[in-house]
Chains A and B, each alone.
Chain A
Amino acid sequence: MNGELSLEPTARDLAASGLRPAELERVRQLLGRMPNRIELAMFGVMWSEHCAYKHSRALLRTLPSESPHVLAGPGGNAGVVEVAPGIAAALKVESHNHPSAVDPFHGAATGVGGIIRDVLAMGARPIALLDALRFGPPHEPRARRLRDGVIAGIAFYGNAIGVPTVGGEIDHAPCWTDNPLVNVACLGVAPVEALASAAAREPGSVVLYAGARTGRDGIGGAAFASEELDEHSAERDRSAVQIGDPFAGKLLIEATLQALATGGVRALQDMGAAGLTCATAEMSAAGGTGMEIDLDRVPRREADMSPLELVLSESQERMLLVVAPERADAIAAIYRRWGLVAAPIGTVIAEPVLRMRAGGRLVVELPPACLANGPVYALAPQEPAARRARRAMEVDGGARFASVRGARAIGAGGAGLIASAEAASGAPDEALQALRRAWLALLAHPTVASKRWVYRQYDHMVQLRTVLAPGAAGAAVLRLLEAPPRGLALAIDGNARYAWLDPWAGGALAVCEAALNVACTGARPLALTDGLNLGNPERPEGAWELAGVIEGIGAACRALGIPVVGGNVSLYNESSGAPIWPTPICCVLGVLDDVGRALPSAVREPGDAVVLLGSPQASLGGALFLEAVAGEPLPAGQPLRPDFALHARLLALLAEAAAAGELRSAHDLAEGGLGVALAEAALLGERGLACALPPPAQHEPLEVALFGEGPSRVLASVPPACYDALSARCAAHAVPLVRLGEVTAEPRLRLRTPAGELECDLAALRAAWQSEERTR
């Protein structure tokens, strides 16, 4: 540091901080003075939307977060639940949307790194990752480039750090073209007594910096994440993108777990968004204490870093520990043994003040609680009339389909697939031809199509826990080595089409879908973490979406008894003035008593009965069919709202029936409804099906019965000897059961409908479903 630089904030500092005039005034009042330029920048990042959740915190507090299993709820680095006696699981989802728009590879990679460190900060070993991704239509070069970059970045980081990516989902729509969504969830495991706290409670403790050196990465990244992207973002914002090093991340995991095992670590936090500022402020605020920090002692990559840069840097792979003084040397030695730097940079003090010095000069003096608790804003929600109109559109009526019957498939290769399938089938009926075309179009749609080409790039087997790998079921299943024969199931889901039409339904249905995917493996849902991705909350429709989504999630979680143990909110997701569809992502964790009984989605044994469990209702409201087949430019209709009581009974039924061995497979119905579920179950198991559609409601078009969507519906296969027992169990749980047909050995799907027999060879279905692979 050269000379005495002025700490007086300039107009440029004020603008760069991102604070509004009212917020700045509030800071001035809280401090009793104007902040200097370093303090101003610290408030700028800590009070950004990304860090402070200003527009969502009030509503998020309404989410249910307690249950007998919850050990740590929202507000910490990750949520924690007890999954077996004495064994805890840490779970959290994080978004990295804006950085991924600027640099998809590094943006996604550091997203993975960050969420892993959040779980590690709870004292848990990270054991699994899932990702929920959203991109523009893949035939557009820009969207394709972002998609491929994100997938490569996730693979790069996840594979190298040795945490398996075991599941995920990808959806496509134009709204995400310039503003992709990258939500990554991480699961970790720890003995309950080894869980770590983030609260610095004991004055005299040593504040120990550990990990990689501090550089100029991502300076101001958190503030940047709260701004909207425009077409100049790519160049200007490149400097704000952090670069991750998964090798250092792996060393950090091993060293930190060893350090924790010494018993000398009193508190722990990772340095993520807002780096050293956030860690010191939050750890002090949580403990009701303060810290004295000597910035000269912060290990740095470049010699000439200013105090401002040191406190704001978002260099990756760094942790901040609070340790007992007599253990500090030993703990630092552990990090050094693993090739990382470790340096004491300060002490915890009783006075609740955060003081930082550089070159002997006091440069920061702030109350931690002020930094850590930004202002809370109320929303002014208002439903846009245009949205109400879309929701009110009649989509299930027959008249609409006169034009649909002639619809051709969209997407690469669609026409060719359909032509060859038609040649193979030989069925003359026009209605059946149209249904077959629609079927193949849905299977080929990027949202539904097989993602095998994606997860083959992820190491999903490392750590020897993966029992049901990506693609095998709607949820990943891992064995809980710490408490055999238990297993953990994890699903991540969210449907933006529903949420755009009806935010409350979108939130509720995301919870229901993820919980159902978990239950379909035979597991009992235990906890949820949510990632909310929306547009500008200061606009009335953005506020309406945010409020609705949170209310819907809350209602579903309360009704189903699933606590929300933490989550993430990413706002201001827009590009060039157009907000994204509200995208609520829910990640649900479930427990299986016997992981050996986990159920896949695929049918397996010829002769097994094929049944439909759950709600008999389906609708094209918000269905993928409207977009993929009918060519609707925007979602339309009313997505079916869940019957929570029935859904809860279905979840319980699945867990019991699976444990009793009464089910061979279970597959939830989602995008594309029954038609897609039948095809997927058959393709995954490489078996045929001979089924009949349940009699549709009067005047209900076959498109609704086949491709309509709705919650609480499961396609299952049942060993014949178990059918009666299952039937009795369904009656006891008041869950409707309809027998559709049976599994066959021939590689063909046959579906009897009122309009005739709808048939397709497995080969044709597979060609559509795996059409993306052919381009690679």
Chain B
Amino acid sequence: MSGRPAPAGAAGRQPHRARAASRAAGGERTTPRSAVRLGPRLSSLSLERLLRAGPRPEPAPLPPARAETGALTFGIVVFPGSNCDRDCEYVLREVTGVQTRMIWHRDPELGALDAVVLPGGFSYGDYLRAGAIAAVSPVLGAIRRFAEGGGLVLGICNGFQVLCEAGLLPGALIHNRDARFHCAWTYLRVERTDTPFTCAFAPGEVVRMPVAHGEGNYFAEPATLAELERERRVLWRYVDARGEPSPQANPNGSLHHIAGICNAAGNVAGLMPHPERASESLLGGTDGRRLFASMVRWLLERRRG
């Protein structure tokens, strides 16, 4: 039985808090500080219709010509103990179609790259705190400069932990609520689609990606959480099959059921679920590859114009 989320306004479903608040206040939907215009802009009317209708089948994005995609280079950072670096490299090369380069944690410079991916794993054995030792690696200086220059940086699982420890994203990832490692498919709701990481999704779309972590419980102080919600920097939220957030649907106890966020400028994002594990139908789902496709689409549009 397929699960379509209940339409907006049905009992129990809360419209996105920020939108509701601003509409109630009579104001326009607020845009983040670094508004990056991406793709076709939806009128507020069509947006309402989308939200009411629930998730649509995967929108058919115009695939960029292979030659164009192949002109992009994504770097994948390898820390001692990274496990998913080769997985990310494989998907980016074979499925997404970009050039790839592995970046060693001691490299002081990144070289010419269009995007940087910090993959999952157990960098430094998760010793001290997950991501803490990697966060002081030499390569982080280069990643910081790359991000400050507007480069795209994506942290997956341990990569997200590294970005938080390094201060490139707010908050921290602590032990899962039940103190256990969880490896399972989860539903996520894509909260906004005008970012470099989500522009190939439909607003409010419910997608499936797997998690595999023991320390994926997102924590931030109330003021930070409020800011994240207000600025719509929560990009992915844990939900059930119907698209509703709930404690049962939350695999780790993350505050606000947060699965992934972005920075204020919108060019650095982190998420605990593994999009590279949801990029081929043979392995159980393809929603994840649209995250990488979003980055490609955004980069190519930026190049073009």
Contact check, A462 vs B87: say whether CB atoms are below 8 A apart.
yes
Mark interface residues in B120-142 (1 if CB within 8 Å of A CB, else 0). Answer: 11101111000000000000000
Q: A247-B80, A339-B80 are in contact. Are A461 and B181 (CB under 8 A)?
A: no
| 11 residue pairs from A and B, CB less than 8 Å apart | A159-B181, A161-B83, A162-B83, A245-B125, A457-B182, A458-B183, A460-B183, A461-B283, A462-B120, A464-B280, A481-B90
Question: Which bracket fits the contact residues of A?
Answer: 20 to 34
Which of the residues A251, A463, A596 comes within 8 Å of B87, measured between beta carbons? A463
Contact of A462 among B80, B84, B126, B184 (CB under 8 A): B84
A619 interfacial by beta-carbon distance below 8 Å: no
Q: 1/0 per position for A457-494, CB-CB distance to B under 8 A? A: 11111111011010000000001010000000000000
Instruction: State the 7 A-B residue pairs at the shortest beta-carbon distance, nearest first.
Output: A247-B125, A162-B83, A160-B122, A459-B212, A464-B87, A457-B181, A459-B183
Say which residue of A161, A247, A338, A457 sits within 8 Å of B183 (CB atoms): A457
The listed residue (A464, A479, A776) touching B277 by CB distance below 8 A is A464
Indicate whether A250 reaches chain B with its CB closer than 8 angstroms: yes
| A162 touching B182, Cβ below 8 Å | no
Q: Bound state CA distance, A459 and B84, in angstroms?
A: 12
Q: A456, A460, A466 — which one has the most chain B CB atoms within 10 A of its CB? A: A456
Residue of B nearest to A481 (CB): B90
Contact A461 B212 (CB under 8 A): yes
Complex CA gap A734/B280 in Å reads: 39
The reply to whether the CB of A155 lies closer than 8 angstroms to some CB of chain B is yes
Contact yes or no, B276 A160, CB < 8 A:
no
Residues of B within 8 A of A596 (CB): 282
* Majority SS at the chain B contact face: mixed
| B-facing residues in A432-476 (Cβ within 8 Å) | 455-464, 466-467, 469
- Asked whether, in the complex, the Cβ of A250 is within 8 Å of the Cβ of B83, the reply is yes
A-chain residues with CB within 8 Å of residue B51 when the two chains form the complex: none
Tell me the A591-629 residues at the B interface (CB within 8 Å).
595-596
Partner of A459, one of B86, B91, B181, B276: B181
Report whether B84 and A155 are in contact in the complex, using a CB–CB cutoff of 8 Å. no
Contact with B along A372-402 (1 / 0, CB 8 A): 0000000000000000000000000000000
Q: Is A246 an interface residue (CB 8 A)?
A: yes
When the two chains form their complex, are residues B83 and A462 in contact, meaning their CB atoms are under 8 A apart? yes
> Is A251 a contact of B80 with CB atoms below 8 Å?
yes
Minimum CB–CB distance from B108 to chain A (whole Å) comes to: 15
Shortest B1–chain A CB gap in Å is: 8
Q: Does B245 contact A (CB under 8 A)?
A: no
Task: Identify which of residues 56-104 in chain B touch chain A, using a CB-to-CB cut-off of 8 Å.
Answer: 80-81, 83-84, 86-87, 90-91
Tell me if B277 and A162 are in contact (CB < 8 A). no
Contact among A248, A456, A458, A464 with B283 in the assembled complex (CB-CB below 8 Å): A464
In the complex, how many angstroms separate the beta carbon of B60 from the nearest chain A beta carbon?
24
Residues of B within 8 A of A245 (CB): 125
| Contact (Cβ within 8 A) A251 B81 | yes
Interface size class of B (residues with CB under 8 A): 20 to 34
| Contact residues in B for A339 (Cβ distance below 8 Å) | 80
The chain B residue sitting closest to A466, CB to CB, is B283
Q: Are A456 and B184 in contact (CB under 8 A)?
A: yes
B277-294 interface code vs A (CB 8 A; 1 in, 0 out): 100101110000000000
On chain A, the residues within 8 Å of B184 by CB distance are 456
Residue among B127, B181, B182, B276 having the largest count of chain A Cβ atoms under 10 Å? B181
B105, chain A: closest CB distance, angstroms: 10
**Is the CB–CB distance between A162 and B121 below 8 Å?**
yes
Please give the distance in Å from B179's CB to the nearest CB on chain A.
10
The answer to whether A461 touches B274 (Cβ under 8 A) is: yes
Residues of A with C-beta under 8 A to B120: 462
Contact of A160 among B125, B274, B282 (CB under 8 A): B125
Give 1 or 0 for each of A139-163: 1 = CB within 8 Å of chain B CB.
0000000000000000100011110
B55 interface residue (CB < 8 Å to A): no
* Alpha-carbon gap, A687 to B280, bound state (A): 26
Q: Give chain A residues whose Cβ lies under 8 Å from the Cβ of B37.
A: none
Q: Is the CB of A247 within 8 A of B127?
A: yes
B119-168 with Cβ < 8 A to chain A: 120-122, 124-127
Q: A456-B183, A595-B282 are in contact. List 5 more A-B contacts (CB 8 A).
A: A161-B83, A457-B180, A460-B183, A479-B282, A481-B90
Most-contacted residue by chain B among A459, A462, A463 (CB, 10 A): A459
Q: Cα distance A338–B105 when bound, in Å?
A: 11
Interface flag for B203 (CB, 8 Å)? no
Contacts of B182 in A (CB 8 A): 456-457
Contacts of B274 in A (CB 8 A): 461
A338 contacts across to B, CB distance below 8 A: 80
What's the nearest-Cβ distance from chain B to residue A122, in Å? 20
Determine the distance from Cα of A455 to Cα of B125 in the docked complex, in whole angstroms: 21
Within 204-223 of A, Cβ neighbours of B (below 8 Å) are at: none
CB of A462 within 8 A of CB of B212, answer: yes
Q: Please report which residues of chain B, range 163-200, place their CB below 8 angstroms from some CB of chain A when the two chains form the complex.
A: 178, 180-184
Report the nearest B residue to A338, measured CB to CB. B80
Minimum C-beta distance from B76 to chain A (A): 14
**Bound complex: CA of A85 vs CA of B126, how far in Å?**
39
A455–B180 alpha-carbon span in the complex (Å):
12
Give the Cβ gap from A168 to chain B, nearest Cβ, in Å: 14
List, in ascending order, chain B residues with CB within 8 A of A462's CB.
83-84, 87, 120, 212
Closest to B104 in A: A337
